[in-house]
Amino acid sequence: MQTLIRQNRDLRVDFFRGFALWCMLIDHFINGWLRAITLKEYGFCDAAELFVLLSGISAGIVYHRTVVRDGLRPAWLKIARRIVAIYRTHLIMFMLFAAEVSILVAWLNPPSFLEFLALDGFRAHPFRSIMNVALLGTEPKFFDILPLYIVLLVILALTLPLIRWPRSLLVGSILLYVAARVFHLNLGSWTENWFFNPLAWQVIFMLGVTSPYILKAKNYWRGWDWLAALFSLFSLFESHTRHLDNHLPAALLIHFDVDKPTVHPFRLLAIVSLGWLAWRYIPAAADWLRSRWAEPFVLLGQHSLGVFSSSVLFAVLGEAILFTHPGWISQILVQGLGTLALVAVAALSAWNSNKSRIDGRATNISINSNDLSPMQGSQRRARMAYTVDSLQ
């Protein structure tokens, strides 16, 4: 597996993004003992916030580098290509999802399965429902992340000229977040049926985009570490209030909804606190990031689009099995096989990516060698052959 992992990256981002993707798969199952160790059980935030934050960090690094090196226009073009790729994946995923649900309903006939997947409207108005999905309107269950990510990339494209001034960009993002919560702003009727409000969730994404550049300074007030740690402990404590209601005074427990669609401030503070502590105390060169137990998560994180798309299809299959065959054995099989399937998808994606990269380099070698003298060409080919062989 080590040969499939690209090492010239910040493996912290890959590891935690892979962990977030795995948590999403496990949390999508209605039952399962592994749900006890996913992120949502240990604080106000869950894998969705972590995934969006890390996606923002990756996007900020990639597009900031493009702006500095090539200018705004190539960066906009790069974002546009990414949006098209995500939208294409969304449509393909929905077609596979619809076919899978049809087969599962005919085969297992899980009770109330279409209602659970928010597909009951397809019976009465199939064409309208399909058009809604194609236009990113009303989405079935598990289809929330990709439309949200498309809108976040559009917002990034609109604000890209400000990426050279990350503090100004972050201040504007926070003001938009506050306005979205206070005045219940959204993107109109287009996104009113979305679970996530993009105008609120953009603040987590923009925190990721700007943080690598805002946090370049080396000296920080140690109090930030303590505040982040204390809030993380508070978040952990309050996330288990259902177990403590009869054992602690009511004044120590919060009794209001820490809503997810518009990112309650406690959710925002929770993911910021965890991100701060991880950045401060996990070095990019940490040996455990290259250990055997970390490799599967790193691999998942390096191929997030394909892994997430596959996880939706695996989650639907697992839900159908758990609907019709509840019990510990089914839970173990569904969660275990689902995890192995995700790692297999990531490994296949990595192998295909590496093969395409090597084939591309070999093509460039043959083209470039034609421009050299016979002696230079033979020496260049020998050096490049060694490089290609070593990559394999």
- Contact of 258 with 40, CB cutoff 8 Å: no
Q: How far apart are CA 51 and CA 346, in angstroms?
A: 16
Instruction: Based on DSSP, count helices (H) and strands (E) in the chain, helices before strands.
Output: 15, 0
Separation between Cα atoms, residue 39 and residue 239, nearest integer Å: 11
Please tell me the predicted confidence (pLDDT) of residue 317. Answer: 96
C-alpha–C-alpha distance, residues 355 and 343, integer Å? 18
pLDDT in tens, 285-305: 999 999 999 999 999 999 999
pLDDT score, position 235:
92
- What is the predicted pLDDT for the residue at 122? 84
Q: Is the pTM of this model over 0.85?
A: yes
What are the pLDDT digits (tens) for 176-205? Answer: 999 999 999 998 878 878 999 999 999 999
Positive/negative CA dihedral, 143, 15, 300, 304: positive
Token output for 17: 């993004």
Q: What is the pLDDT of residue 52?
A: 98
Q: Is residue 204 a contact partner of residue 56, using CB atoms and an 8 Å limit? A: yes
Which DSSP state fits 372? S
Q: Which residues contact 78 (CB under 8 A, 6 or more apart)?
A: 62, 63, 66
Residue 341 in contact with residue 26, Cβ under 8 Å? no
What are the angstrom distances between the C-alpha of 57 and each of 23, 118, 237, 338?
A: 19, 32, 28, 27
If you search the block for the tokens 């275990």, which residue do you land on? 336
Contact between residue 354 and residue 346 where contact means Cβ atoms under 8 Å apart: no
DSSP letter assigned to residue 168: H
Coarse DSSP helix, strand, coil percentages of the chain, rounded to the nearest 5 percent: 75, 0, 25
Q: pLDDT tens across 109-160, in order?
A: 998 999 999 998 888 888 888 999 999 988 899 999 999 999 999 999 999 9
What is the per-residue pLDDT for 390?
Answer: 31
Tokens of 182: 């206070």
Both tokens of 321, joined, read 């099995």
User: Is the distance from CB of 335 to CB of 37 less than 8 angstroms?
Assistant: no
C-alpha–C-alpha distance, residues 45 and 278, integer Å? 15
Spatial CA neighbour of 239 closest among 77, 36, 389: 36
Q: Are 211 and 173 in contact (CB under 8 A)?
A: no
Domain ranges across the chain: 12-285
pLDDT of 321? 95
Residues of the chain with pLDDT under 50: 372-373, 375, 377-392
Q: What H or E segment, with its residue span, contains residue 239?
A: none
Give 87: exposed, middle or buried? Use CB within 10 Å, 0-12, 13-18, 19+.
middle
- How much is the pLDDT for 378? 46
Residue with tokens 């019990």: 327
DSSP state letter for 336? H
How high is the mean pLDDT of the chain? 88
Residue in the block written with tokens 């969705």: 48
